[in-house]
Amino acid sequence: MADLELIRGLQTAADSKILLLVLDGLGGLAIQPGGPTALEAAETPNMDRLAAEGIVGLHQPVAPGITPGSGPGHIGLFGYDAVRYQIGRGVLEALGIGFDLQADDLAARGNFCTVDANGRVVDRRAGRIPTEKCEELCRELQKLQIPGVRIFVEPVREHRFLLVLRGEGLVEGVAETDPGHLGSPPLKPVAESPEATGTAEMIGRFVDDAQERLAGHEPANMVLLRGFAKLPEWPTFPETFGLRSVAVAQYPMYRGVAKLVGMDAAEVGAAREDLFTTLERVWPDYDFAFVHVKDTDKAGEDGDFDRKVSAIEGIDTFVPALVGLKPDVILVTGDHSTPAALRSHSWHPVPFLLWASTCRRDEVERFGERWCLKGGGGLCRSEDLMPMALAHAERLAKFGA
């Protein structure tokens, strides 16, 4: 794999445009032995035409056998090695609910939990309290004050919340307070380096104050914190690839990951059509657009094979409109597989199609896992897709004389 520095050094100015269409969780499995996957079963005449004119292949997120979460899945598609470029838990939690993290913020993933009279954890998830209760308790904790920092406590779902400390001099490197098992008291937030001492003290004070405030709110009478993280300082996507870049995504997580790497995020309405009307609106101002479709993943997570087929077929009807925008390169793929048969993300390689006038055509004329296996794109790593797309857009100079 080429590293980001190498790619950046080879940037060439061009007018070409690249469209990345991500059907979340696109890859699948058959639901009966020897049967088709959802993508194979779907009638996709428009994507099939792109597949026939371009190349297809499979990409492997993270590493063989690894099932990626949404963050690493997209980080790979954006050209970053997902093992090297890991997003901290706290930051992922913030992205997931669309919290607008600032450069100085320290974020953590929080759980409400239950402790007994001796302070020992007896339920790490506080009986999975309803989200409404979580919201109420977050409002309580939001009132806590710690000198020198601003506190944000945002509900996520059930017992989960986001804690953000905003202030100067906050550092990562504070150990989690979750003991990981029952019967022990929560751990102290220990500084893992001398620089983190002040930060650890502030977190310790928050935990103490939170426990006091939560007294009587059983089962949610204590908090556990982990994944203390700040926004990473990575090479940005627009700088690395030389592309004015925009995300067109309806879910906070995907807008968030895109913003994390420096893309703009367009305002999008909630209907599926809004994705495409928004893309049409912002397209003239950008060289690269990432369009994110969630339905495919949701159907897979729900174990609903037929709905996944329908979701894919629904997107296919929009493909002519995408082609009508005249992108020079179109890349259609998923961030990972979500087979309905497994009702979850999976490690299986993900089908992709890459369409451009500079493709060396393969002989594949349909878009689907079994055909991708015979395609000109081979079995590559997710992070290879962006350099390939850039190359086909004729935006990369020769390496060496």
Interface positions, 14-43, toward a copy of itself (CB under 8 A)? 27-30, 33-34, 37
Q: Which is nearer to a copy of itself, 123 or 362 (CB)?
A: 362
212-231 residues in contact with a copy of itself (CB under 8 A) are none
| Stretch in the footprint of a copy of itself (CB under 8 A) among 15-23, 134-142, 285-293, 389-397 | 389-397
Q: How far is the CB of 216 from a copy of itself (least distance, A)?
A: 32
Decide: is 343 part of the binding site for a copy of itself (CB under 8 A): no
The amino acid at residue 104 is D
Shortest CB 162 distance to a copy of itself, Å: 12
Q: Which member of 16, 207, 370, 382 binds a copy of itself (CB under 8 A)?
A: 370
Taking CA atoms, 305 is separated from 21, 32, 210, 249, 310, in Å, by 21, 11, 44, 23, 9
Q: Is 251 in the site for a copy of itself (CB under 8 A)?
A: no
C-beta closer to a copy of itself: residue 305 or 318: 305
| Entry field: residues in the chain | 401
* Closer to a copy of itself by Cβ: residue 281 or 374: 374
Judged by CB under 8 A, the chain residues 73 through 102 that form the site for a copy of itself are 73, 82-83, 86-87, 89, 92-93, 96
What residues between 132 and 191 interact with a copy of itself by CB under 8 A? none
By the rule CB under 8 A, 323 interacts with a copy of itself: no
Residues 6+ apart with CB under 8 A from 243: 18, 237, 286, 287, 288, 395
Per DSSP, the residues of 20-83 read EEEETTBB---SSTT---HHHHS--HHHHHHHHHSEEEEEESSSTTPPP-HHHHHHHHTT--TT
State whether the Cα torsion 93-95-100-104 is positive or negative. Answer: positive
Query: 3-class DSSP state for residue 272?
Result: helix
Q: Which two tokens stand for residue 232?
A: 């990473």
Helix 131-142, helix 197-214: angle, nearest 10: 120
Beta-bridge mates of residue 157: 160
Task: Assess 389 for contact with a copy of itself (CB under 8 A).
Answer: yes
Asked if residue 219 has a cis previous peptide bond (ω within 30° of 0), the answer is yes
- Is residue 368 at the binding interface for a copy of itself, with CB under 8 A as the rule? no
Report how many residues bind a copy of itself under the rule CB under 8 A.
71
Amino acid, single-letter form, for residue 200: A
For a copy of itself, which residue of 11, 14, 31, 63 counts as binding (CB under 8 A)? 63
The candidate with the shortest Cα–Cα distance to 331, out of 365, 299, 367, 295, is 367
Q: Is 294 in the site for a copy of itself (CB under 8 A)?
A: no
Q: Binding of a copy of itself at residue 50 (CB under 8 A)?
A: no
Contacts (Cβ under 8 Å, ≥6 apart) of 216: none
**CB 69 to a copy of itself: min, Å:** 4
Of 97-105, 199-207, 306-314, 369-377, the window that binds a copy of itself (rule: CB under 8 A) is: 369-377
The residue from 41, 62, 107, 353 that contacts a copy of itself (CB under 8 A) is 62
Q: Are 27 and 336 in contact (CB under 8 A)?
A: yes
The nearer residue to a copy of itself, 39 or 202, going by C-beta atoms, is: 39
362 touches a copy of itself by CB under 8 A? yes
Candidates 60-68, 228-236, 282-290, 294-302: pick the segment binding a copy of itself (CB under 8 A): 60-68
Nearer to a copy of itself, 162 or 202 (CB): 162
